[in-house]
Amino acid sequence: MGFFFIKQNILLLLYLICIFLFGCFIRYLEYADYFVRFICEQVDDPKTIFDYIVVGSGSAGSIVARRLAEDKNLKILLLEAGNVGNNILDVPPFGLLLQQTPFDWHYTTVPQKKSCFSMNNNSSIWPMGKMVGGTGMLNNMIYIRGHPEDFNSWFKGKVGYSFDDHVKPYFQKVEDSIYKDNYYSSVHLSDVIFSTKLTDAVLNAAEELKFPFTNLTQNCAEGFGIPKINSRRGQRWTPAHTLYEKDRPNIFLRTGRIVEKVLFHNNYEAYGVKYRYFEDTYIARASKGVILTAGVIGSAKILLHSGIGPRDHLEEIGIETKLNLPVGENLQDHLTTGFDLVLLNNSIDIGIAETLSPFSAVEYFWSGSGPWTTTGCEVVAHLHTTCNRSAAPDIQLMVMNVGLNADRGVHLRKLVGISDETWNEYFELLNDTVTVTILPVLLHPNSKGTVRLKDKHFSSGVLIDPNYLSSAYDRDTLIEGIEIIRRLVDTEAMKSFGAREYWNCYIEHVTSTAYHPVGTCKMGGPDDETAVVDYEFRVKGTNNLFVVDGSILPTLTSGNINGAIFALAEMASDSFKYIDYLSKRKSTAREMFIKRDCCGCT
């Protein structure tokens, strides 16, 4: 017992040293990028007119910029608030370490009234990437389409819409990389390379409970499966990686630019943006369009500061209203709870020793395999509870190969925001045990929240209120999700590892985001008064202003939103190309009597 105690403390000390050194490396990257930009990079001439300005180089922005750049005659300015980063950040587990660093926006919700009671200030921490690659550099890299019903509800007002004709082809375009290892694909998908004994244990337990094994990529049928991930040869791969290709001379990527507002002619025609670079403000101009891809918080914030939003809110903080639209409304998020519900007698998780082993590092850099390729999530399940009234699943289970107490409270709990009191009273008791995490994720919450500005000053930030657990349906569904986990850990397959439940923390106390907020710039038809953008991704009542990111999702998908954003970005790119095509040519008499449809855009 004494040797085990000494070994654990030595490993913990090494872990602390590694965390410290990684933090120093992040600071080095931040200041190095700052120095290079300050010394070497010139500000674009404000008289230069680009064809398109894309704001944000996350997954959606990178795809849109790359697709538009396929026309070599177009000049695309891609503005990113964060830094470029480094190849070492492509190691999949390092995404977790990027949270709460300069590569993260450090968003936190307002104190919640019905949830998050065991979190600091009753608030939920929302990690979002502030770097080239966006939140795709911080997430679990999981690719899931969602259920067809999700998209049917989005496009119910679109004439002639069908999932097979209008949405599915874009998923297939994204999934092409599964079968073709093409460096120039916007997205790379691959199988999970590394897994622990936990995968087999959970899948055997699911089989014991008569749950089917399902293909998570192709459909969203009920069952358990192993997800595809955004990875190429073991490393994290986001659409932003294609921005570094040398054959993209017409994409002008500019980092460290914080866009504050969109500029208009006559209050409706967008012609550029105002952005801050170091301590000065500049203007960038575009002739064909300004495309916001700054995320569910960023895009809403820019629109609100541009005078597009709820009139009463804008007038309250002293911003002139250009368009009265419900920007910042309809905020929804996948909600989860229960970080350490499963305790084990046998070690089948990824321990600190395995993570810190130099052999793991050599294995990763030499062959693109081993523990350093893990995303943390090994198995995903889509399930139906008795609360469900839809064909789409309402609960997701995410099986993680590590517990919140894996590092004895040194780092992981700070990323979630567990309060000291809760940690000391409950989680610290688990420090000498082996835990894994099976998270129940509420897929379609009824609770909706808002994003509001603190005041008219851009630097003041935003007020994020997801209004978690304000609906009884949300509570009931999450509790049923926990009941499914209890059944799962009570099977013979899991008992062989000595699994038992730990129920000291209830959903009202340990409540957390699953990192999938959407909806603040909702997409909808012409008669939808709750919509901010139309089916061509144009902000209603404007010309040349578009939004393409998670903010436009009207509702959450049945699973991680990564895949849906990829597909929407591909769809939007085709829509912009079609609009550009129409602007360059004249209609013929024959076309007056023929319905035109280009790539599903009508």
Q: Is 135 annotated as a binding residue?
A: yes
The tens digit of pLDDT for each residue in 417-462 reads 989 888 888 777 777 777 778 899 999 999 999 999 999 999 999 9
Numbers of helices and strands, H then E, in the chain: 16, 25
Tokens of 247: 């054959």
- Axis-axis angle for helices 168-179, 562-584 (nearest 10): 110
Q: For 583-594, what is the mean pLDDT?
A: 55
According to DSSP, residue 219 is labeled: -
pLDDT of residue 299: 98
Q: Domain 46-183+251-328+518-602 is in which class?
A: alpha beta
**Burial bucket for residue 396 (CB in 10 Å: 0-12, 13-18, 19+):** buried
The DSSP line for 469-505 is T-SHHHHHHHHHHHHHHHHHHTSHHHHTTT-EE--SS
Cβ-Cβ contacts under 8 Å for 24 (sequence gap 6 or more) = none
According to DSSP, residue 162 is labeled: -
- In 3-state terms the chain splits into helix, strand, coil percentages (rounded to 5) of 35, 20, 45
pLDDT of residue 591 exceeding 90, the answer is: no
Q: Is 23 annotated as a binding residue?
A: no
pLDDT of residue 218: 74
Distance CA 602, CA 597 (A): 5
- Axis-axis angle for helices 472-489, 197-208 (nearest 10): 100
Which residues are registered as beta bridge partners of 336?
441, 512
Cβ-Cβ contacts under 8 Å for 179 (sequence gap 6 or more) = none
Radius of gyration of the chain (CA): 24
Expressed in angstroms, the distance from the first to the final Cα of the chain is 70
Pick the residue with more confidence: 405 or 327? Answer: 327
Kindly report which listed range (27-36, 484-493, 494-503) carries the lowest average pLDDT score. Answer: 494-503
The tens digit of pLDDT for each residue in 161-181 reads 889 889 999 998 888 766 565
Q: Which of 55, 460, 459 is nearest to 290 (CA)?
A: 55
Q: Is 259 annotated as a binding residue?
A: yes
| Per-domain residue ranges of the chain | 1-42, 46-183+251-328+518-602
